[in-house]
Amino acid sequence: MSVERRGVRTFVVLRQYPGGLGLQAALEKEVANLRVVAGSALPVPEVLAADVAGASTGDAPALLMTRLPGHVELSPADPRLWLTRIAEIAVQLHSLDLPAKTLRPWTDSWIAPRDGFEVPLGARRPAVWRAAFDVMGVEPPKDPAVFLHCDLLPVNLLWSRGRITGLTDWNSIHRGSRAIDIGHCRRFLAALYSPEWAEQLRSLYESIAGVTLDPWWDLYALLHYDDNGSKWIHGQVAGRRPVDVPGMTSRVEVAIETTLRRLG
C-alpha cells in the first residue's frame, strides 16, 4: 500500500502483531532497533509510525514502515554470487559501531550445559551431536565483539537484480562474536541446501573480512537446531522453493561435524 505526505507518495508496509498486547515489548524492541540502524547505510526500512498500544487496530500493536524494493530469493541462479552477496552484507553489518547489549550465550544458563541439549530424533550419528554438546560445556572463548543482527537468514534478505536491497526482522540486535551471525545463516543453509553451501559462506566471509571465524561460536549457532528446526525452516520458506524436510537434520549434522574438526 502507499501513503501520501506533502504531495509525495511513499510505498509502505504495515506490520501487525496479532498476538495482542502481549507483544508490545517485541514491537517496542523492533522499533528501537530500527532506529539504531537508521542512517547506517544498510538497506533497512524506515519507521514511519508505531501503535504500540494497538489503539487504532483493535488491540493489535502495529508498525508502519517504508517498503523496501525486492523479494526473498531462495533459488539463486548463481549460488556462489548469492552467497558472496550475503557474506558482503554481513561484513558491512559487523563493521558498524552501533550500541547494543552484549550477547549472553544460552549455555550460561545451565550448571551442566550438556543436560540442556537433546540429540534430534533424525540424527544419523548421535555421537557427533554429543561431542558438540560437550564442547558447549566449557567456557566460551573470548572473541572481539561486533554488531550483530542475530537473525541473518536468507528469508530476511530482499533481492533485486542480483543485489541485496533489504535486511529485515530487526528483533534481536546484540554485540558478540561475528561467528554467531554467520553460524545462524550456515545452519539455515545446511538444512535447506547443503553443508557445502554453509562452508562456502564461511570461506567467503573470512576472505572478504580478512578474519577467521571462531569455531566455538560457530558451533554454538549451529546447535540452535533441534527437533523443531525442520518445521520452523519449512514455515519460513513458505512455499518459495521445494524443501527436503527429512534430510535437514543429517545435513546440519555434517556441518556440525565439520566445525568440530576445525576445533581440533
Domains and CATH numbers, the chain: 2-66 (no CATH), 79-263 (3.90.1200)
Q: In DSSP terms, which residues pair with 8 in a beta bridge?
A: 5
Q: What confidence score (pLDDT) does residue 36 get?
A: 97
Q: What is the pLDDT of residues 215-236, one digit of tens each?
A: 999 999 999 999 999 999 999 9
Instruction: For CA atoms 5, 31, 86, 212, give the dihedral sign.
Output: positive
Q: What confidence score (pLDDT) does residue 15 get?
A: 81
* Least confident residue range of 16-20, 85-89, 95-99, 193-197: 16-20
149 has pLDDT over 70: yes
Q: Which has the higher per-residue pLDDT, 117 or 235?
A: 235
Q: What percent of the chain stands above pLDDT 70?
A: 88
Q: How far apart are CA 239 and CA 155, in angstroms?
A: 12
